[in-house]
Amino acid sequence: MAYDENTAARVRKLLAGQRDVAEKKMMGGLCFMVNNTMCCTVSGRGGMLIRVGPDAHARMLQEPHTSPMEMRGRIMTGFVRVAPDGYQSDADLKKWVKRGLDFVAANAAGRKAAPRKAVAAKTKVAARAKAPPRGRARKGLRR
């Protein structure tokens, strides 16, 4: 689905001062990732998806022009859909993008980087355990 290019350009302008911003086509639109975490999406179904986190979800649904985000019949807690009327002015769009950025900042503060060597070593051990033993014929294959 096509997303609103005008809204995407407005969001790009707001995120221009941020570090580590990437755009990815996903979730039916154009997703803006900040520090490898979804901030907001310009939706192909119209409107925007804003990541606010599960703690702020109910409070954000009290705002005008918002509704819960539904994907495959499930309500996605932590995301709100904002209708185009909710971000027509630059100030309103800035408010919503800032809420997404606030989630990213809070998420980054609470996230710890996993030690990569420990994860890689654990994966190698698991792979060896699943592999058949070397040099031995497996049962049932001999004639």
**Contact call for residues 14 and 21 (beta carbons, < 8 A):** no
Please provide residue 16's backbone torsions phi and psi, each rounded to the nearest 5 degrees.
Answer: -60, -30
Strands 29-34 and 74-82: unpaired
**Distance in angstroms (rounded) separating the CA atoms of residues 64 and 57:** 14
pLDDT score recorded for residue 28: 77
The pLDDT score that the predictor gives to residue 49 is 95
Helix (H) or strand (E) segment spanning residue 129: helix 116-130
First CA to last CA distance, the chain: 57
Instruction: Supply the pLDDT for residue 129.
Output: 61
Q: Would you state the structure tokens that stand for residue 4, as one six-digit string? A: 């609103």
User: Average pLDDT by consecutive 10-residue portion of the chain (143 residues)?
Assistant: 89 93 90 94 92 93 93 90 96 97 87 53 59 60 56
pTM of whole model > 0.85? no
**pLDDT reported for residue 109:** 73
- pLDDT for 2-22, tens place per residue? 889 999 999 999 999 898 999
Q: Compute the distance between CA of residue 126 and CA of residue 116 in angstroms, rounded to an integer.
A: 15
Side by side, the strands of the sheet bearing 37-43 are 21-26, 29-34, 37-43, 48-51, 74-82, 66-71
Please, what is the angle between helix 5-15 and helix 90-110, to 10°? 60
**Residue 133, Cα to own-chain centre: how many angstroms?**
41
- Per residue in 102-119, pLDDT tens? 999 998 776 655 445 555
- pLDDT for 35: 93
